[in-house]
Structure 1
Amino acid sequence: MEVKVLGSGCANCIKLEKLVTEVVQELGLPATVSKVTDIKEIMAFGVMSTPGLVVDGKVKCTGRIPSKDEIKKYLQGGSGNGPCGCNGNCCG
């Protein structure tokens, strides 16, 4: 699994990277977490507001810091389409 945190290095971007790393460790996931700071690469994802979270090439969240529970759902295969990041089954 490839996880990217998109952002320029602001406090929110740093916090999101920390949260994602914590969740990956807590869940014991085989994931690579990287930070993308290049504005052109960020915009290539269609992200106009940072921080952004990308899981396996799919944008899951932008413009805010998701909760740890949301991050867990994103990393465990939630589509991000429901309000809580689920597949729409629990809150859709």
Structure 2
Amino acid sequence: MGAEARMVEAMMKIEVLGTGCAKCKSLAKNVEKAVAEAGVEAEVVKVESLQEIMNRGVMMTPALFIDGEAVAVGRAPSVAEIKGMLKR
């Protein structure tokens, strides 16, 4: 298998940025549920470091990043909305 084929099969990386507030916890739960319901393989990472969050240019939490791209900032999308984001 060539390098290009391996890149196509790379696991999706989902990052939940937040310092642990209620909205951040809600987003993390919604992400876990959406990943399970969608049946996608994904690495889910919680980023709680305020410095790392600011380094990403995020000024309002929670924030959701999929494969390095900000897809939601300052709100916690629903499970259904997140599932739609995973299918892009």
TM-score computed with the length of structure 2 as normaliser: 0.83
Query: Could you say which residue in structure 2 is the equivalent of 1:66?
Result: 77
Q: Is the 8 A contact 1:5 1:53 kept in 2?
A: yes
Q: CA-atom RMSD, angstroms?
A: 0.8
TM-score by length of 1: 0.80
Distance 2:66 2:23 in 1: 18
Identity across matched positions, percent: 48
2:40 match: 29
Q: CA deviation at 1:24?
A: 0.2
**Which structure shows the bigger proportion of residues in helix conformation?**
2
Residue in 2 that maps onto 1:4: 15
| 1:15 aligned partner | 26
Q: Tell me the CA shift for residue 17 of structure 1.
A: 0.3
Classify the secondary structure of the residue corresponding to 2:20. Answer: coil
- State yes or no: 1:52 paired with 2:63: yes
**Amino acid aligned to 1:48:** M
Q: How many pairs are equivalent?
A: 77
The answer to which structure, 1 or 2, has the higher relative contact order (CA under 8 A, 6+ apart) is 2
**Aligned partner letter, 1:58:** E
Gaps of 5+ in 1: 78-92
Using the alignment, how far apart are the partners of 1:68 and 1:6 within structure 2?
A: 17
| 1:69-84 aligned within 5 A | 69-77=80-88
What's the offset of the Cα at 1:68? 1.8
